[in-house]
Every structure is written in C-alpha cells, then in structure tokens.
Amino acid sequence: QQQVKQSPQSLIVQKGGISIINCAYENTAFDYFPWYQQFPGKGPALLIAIRPDVSEKKEGRFTISFNKSAKQFSLHIMDSQPGDSATYFCAALTSGGYQKVTFGTGTKLQVIP
C-alpha cells in the first residue's frame, strides 16, 4: 500500500515535444505529491509539487495533472529540451509527522535534438 508505481521506465522525446510521466499510488493518506529531477551524480532537486485539492498545477513548462479518484498523477514537460534529459522521480508523502517520502522507481528521460 506504500508503493508508488511510475511509468515508463525510460522515455525518448524529440526536442520540442511533450514528455509525459505517470504515477499511481494506493495509500489514500498521501496528501502531498512532489516531483524530483535528478542529474547523474547529483542529488534530486524539487521540480514541482501538488496537493490533492487541485487537479492541475503549472510552473513554466512543467505541469502536474492530478486525478484523486483514480489515485493517479502525471508530469507533463512541454517543449522538451535536451537540458531536460535527466531521471525524474514522482513521490508521495503524508504531510505532518515524520513525512517519510515514498518514491517512484524513476523515469530516465532523454530529449534528442
């Protein structure tokens, strides 16, 4: 019940295209859903996050879509650029308390020119 399932495992997108990464969770106690971007040899960096009281959040080229009833959320990267090539992790946690983060398995994105 603690798992967060992430797909696809890897993704190749043409420059300028839309990258879409999907995640699904089981634990209805989760109430905060961040996405992290990680470059090789670096720690994860917070990209964007959403709470289940909204269905969509947009920051620049990055958009999270959230479907509470389906317990699914996705990251859309518009106008994908080669610099977006990285591994992306979705995550889920329960705010308050010790906030143990449950990470997805990661998606390696490659944006080709």
Partner 1 sequence: GAVVSQHPSRVICKSGTSVKIECRSLDFQATTMFWYRQFPKQSLMLMATSNEGSKATYEQGVEKDKFLINHASLTLSTLTVTSAHPEDSSFYICSARGQGRKSTDTQYFGPGTRLTVL
Q: How many chain residues touch partner 1 (CB under 8 A)? A: 22
Rank residues 17 and 38 by Cβ distance to partner 1 and give the closer one: 38
Per-residue string for binding with partner 1, 74-93, x by CB under 8 A? ---------------x---x
C-alpha distances in Å from residue 107, one per residue of 49, 83, 100: 17, 15, 21
- The answer to whether 20 contacts partner 1 (rule: CB under 8 A) is no
Q: b/e for 47-75, b at 16 or more Cβ within 10 A?
A: bbebebeeeebeeeebbbbbeeeebebbb
- The answer to whether 29 contacts partner 1 (rule: CB under 8 A) is no
Q: What angle do CA 25, 29, 30 make, to 5 degrees?
A: 55
Smallest distance from the beta carbon of 78 to partner 1, in angstroms? 21
Rank residues 40 and 113 by Cβ distance to partner 1 and give the closer one: 40
